[in-house]
Amino acid sequence: MGRPPRINAEQILAAARAAFTARGFAATTLADVAAAIEVTPAAILRYFPSKQDLFAAAMSARGIDAPPFIDELARVDPASDPRVVLRRFAEQMIPFASTIIRSAIAVQMHAASAQTTLVVPFDTRADETPPRKGIRIVTQYFRRAMNAGVIRRGDPRAYALLFVGQLQSYVFIHQLLAIEPAYPLDRYLDALFALWSDGAIVGGRRGSSSKSHPQAGDPDSSRPRRRDGGTAVRAAAAKAETARPRGNARGADGERRVAGRRPRQPRSRR
């Protein structure tokens, strides 16, 4: 009876995918892949005749299911602190997106002469790809959080696109554009959530989001919009106005105004 094989094709493909994604085609050797699964290069060649064949099999378009953290967002309590919920989502989303983009870059660089677009590891026309499912669930989260009163009213799909886009931009800037030095992820997320929580433009109106146009077909588009944001702005403005020092006609401020007036000329009596 022969000895059972120590490896199988799926193990080889997983190791090769990780190696090619990390180092690219040219910088990766069969020995690198073999070392990762503790076999010899000859063992890999029994499954794949060449490095080119191994690369094609490992990096070809394949079905990738949406990761668990996307489904977890669909079940989260909408009344929970959005800063906690969205940060947990972001911390898992960025490594996932990074893996996909780095893989696509490796394929792009190997086929640069013929490839004109990035090849992602899923059918972009399918309804349940990770990006489509992710945007749909993030949109639903923002809608539920708005209804729970922890997110300001607006277009939930626009919010989802803005938030996920900010996460994707971090990956593209560091993985595709290779901007150095790489900005620390924790500091990036700190700044991102400070921006979403407090805003960055001094003097901006807090209630302006109430004027945003709802997405066509959004179930919330027919509901009356709450004016909590505008009320808060008016209350803050009234408080600031009350706190502003008033001029006192009998005090120094009033004396300055009086002193600045032209003296009244006496009327001539005829």
User: Would you state the pLDDT for residue 210?
Assistant: 44
Largest distance between two CA atoms of the chain: 139
Residue range 241-263: average pLDDT? Answer: 45
Residues 49 and 133 occupy one common structural domain: no
Q: What percent of the chain has pLDDT over 90?
A: 29
Residue (of 172, 196, 194, 195) closest to 183 by Cα position: 172
Final residue of a structural domain among 59, 81, 98: 59
Q: Is residue 73 in some structural domain?
A: yes
Residues 75 and 180 occupy one common structural domain: yes
Check whether 196 has a pLDDT greater than 90.
yes
Residues 87 and 183 occupy one common structural domain: yes
User: Per residue in 236-249, pLDDT tens?
Assistant: 445 544 554 444 44
Query: Which domain, by its residues, includes 25?
Result: 9-59
Query: What pTM did the predictor assign?
Result: 0.56
Final residue of a structural domain among 197, 228, 263: 197
Residues 50 and 146 occupy one common structural domain: no
CB count, 10 Å around CB of 171?
A: 19
Identify the weakest region by mean pLDDT among 77-86, 129-138, 152-161, 226-235: 226-235
Contact between residue 210 and residue 230 where contact means Cβ atoms under 8 Å apart: yes
Residues 53 and 103 occupy one common structural domain: no
Cis peptide before 181 (omega within 30 of 0): yes
Check whether 260 has a pLDDT greater than 90.
no
User: Per residue in 156-172, pLDDT tens?
Assistant: 999 999 999 999 999 88
Final residue of a structural domain among 174, 197, 220: 197
How many domains does the structure of the chain reveal?
Answer: 2
End-to-end CA distance of the chain: 139
